[in-house]
C-alpha cells in the first residue's frame, strides 16, 4: 500500500513508468536504482507499506549535507520525477519467507489502480548457472511481456543486450518444453509471469553476475537502461564516458563496511 510523505498530496502516477529492482544476486538491481535516484536527484514522495519485506530503517542513503543526512529511510520507498514521467520504487531488504507471491500481487494491483504505463524491473542472475547459449556474447538480457513486445522489442534489439533464452523444462527427458530459468533472480520470474497473465506491460532488464564487488555490474545495468530510456544521456554522447555520468550515492562509502579499526595495528 502506497503512503504519501507527510504534508504531501497523493501524487498522480497515471501514464508514468514504474522502475523497481528485484532483490537478486549481488543486489545489482538495487544498486542500479541507487545510481538513478542519486544522479537524477529524484524526490521521495512516499513509502510502500508491506509486511512482505524484512523491516529495516537507516539514515538517508542519498545524503548531500549534514542536515539531510539525519533523514530516515525504510525498506520500501517511492520516488518520483514528473518531468520524465518516472516513478521509482526502491527495495532495501530481503523478502520474508513465502511472501513473494503476496508482494507481487500487491504490486500489480497498485500498478493497475495507479494507471502506470509499464513496469521496468532491474534484476540479475547467477553467472555460473548459464547454459551454453548464454555463455556467448553480452551478459545483458531482456524479457518483454506480450503487451509491450510489438512496441519495444525492435528498440531493445538494437542495444547491447539479447532476449533471455529459454531452457528445457526437463533436460534429457523432454527438450521440447521450454521455460525461463532465472536462478538468483528473486521475484523476477514470478512477477514477469504474473504480469503476462494479467496483461500488464512489463520489461525486465537483467545481468548475469557473481557475488562480490557488484558496482561494475550496477553501472553496466544502469547504462543499459539509459541506452533505452535516455534518462541522463544525449543522443550524441560518446561511449567512452558512459559510466562516468552516474553520481555515486554517499551511502556507498560503507558498501563493504567501515574498514579495519586502527587499534588492530
Domain range annotation of the chain: 12-233
Can you name the residues that pair with 78 across neighbouring β-strands?
46, 89
More confident residue, 31 or 64: 31
Residues 6+ apart with CB under 8 A from 63: 69, 71, 250, 251
Q: Which of 14-23, 36-45, 156-165 has the lowest mean pLDDT?
A: 156-165
Q: Which of 58-67, 109-118, 223-232 has the lowest mean pLDDT?
A: 58-67
At the topology level of CATH, where does 12-233 sit?
Rossmann fold (3.40.50)
Q: Which of 53-62, 116-125, 230-239, 254-263 has the lowest mean pLDDT?
A: 230-239
265/253 Cα distance (integer angstroms): 22
pLDDT tops 90 at residue 245: no
Q: Are 171 and 90 in contact (CB under 8 A)?
A: no
For residues 43-67, average pLDDT: 92
Name the percent of the chain lying above pLDDT 90: 66
More confident residue, 173 or 153: 153
The pLDDT value given to residue 164: 92
44/33 Cα distance (integer angstroms): 13
Q: Are 85 and 47 in contact (CB under 8 A)?
A: no
Amino acid at each position: 500500500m502506497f503512503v504519501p510523505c507527510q504534508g504531501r498530496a497523493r501524487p498522480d502516477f497515471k501514464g508514468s513508468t514504474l522502475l523497481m529492482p528485484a532483490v537478486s544476486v549481488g543486489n545489482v538491481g538495487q544498486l542500479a536504482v541507487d545510481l538513478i535516484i542519486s544522479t537524477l536527484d529524484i524526490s521521495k514522495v512516499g513509502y510502500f507499506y508491506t509486511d512482505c519485506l524484512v523491516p529495516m530503517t537507516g539514515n538517508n542513503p542519498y545524503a548531500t549535507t549534514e542536515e539531510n543526512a539525519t533523514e530516515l529511510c525504510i525498506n520500501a520507498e517511492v520516488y518520483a520525477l514528473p518531468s520524465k514521467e518516472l516513478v521509482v520504487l526502491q527495495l532495501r531488504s530481503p523478502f520474508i519467507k513465502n511472501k513473494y507471491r503476496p508482494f507481487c500481487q500487491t504490486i500489480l494491483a497498485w500498478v493497475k489502480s495507479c494507471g502506470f504505463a509499464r513496469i521496468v524491473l532491474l534484476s540479475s542472475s547467477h553467472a555460473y548457472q548459464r547454459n551454453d547459449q548464454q555463455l556467448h556474447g553480452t551478459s545483458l538480457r531482456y524479457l518483454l511481456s506480450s503487451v509491450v513486445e510489438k512496441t519495444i522489442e525492435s528498440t531493445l534489439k538494437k542495444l547491447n543486450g539479447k532476449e533471455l533464452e529459454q531452457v528445457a523444462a526437463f533436460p534429457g527427458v523432454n527438450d521440447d518444453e521450454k521455460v525461463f530459468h532465472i536462478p538468483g533472480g528473486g521475484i523476477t520470474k514470478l512477477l514477469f509471469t504474473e504480469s503476462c497473465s494479467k496483461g500488464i506491460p512489463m520489461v525486465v532488464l537483467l545481468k548475469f553476475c557473481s557475488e562480490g564487488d557488484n558496482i561494475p555490474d550496477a553501472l553496466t545495468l544502469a547504462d543499459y537502461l539509459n541506452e533505452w530510456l535516455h534518462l541522463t544521456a544525449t543522443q550524441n554522447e560518446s561511449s567512452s564516458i558512459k559510466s562516468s555520468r552516474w553520481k555515486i550515492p554517499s551511502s556507498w562509502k560503507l558498501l563493504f563496511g567501515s574498514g579495519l579499526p586502527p587499534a588492530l595495528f
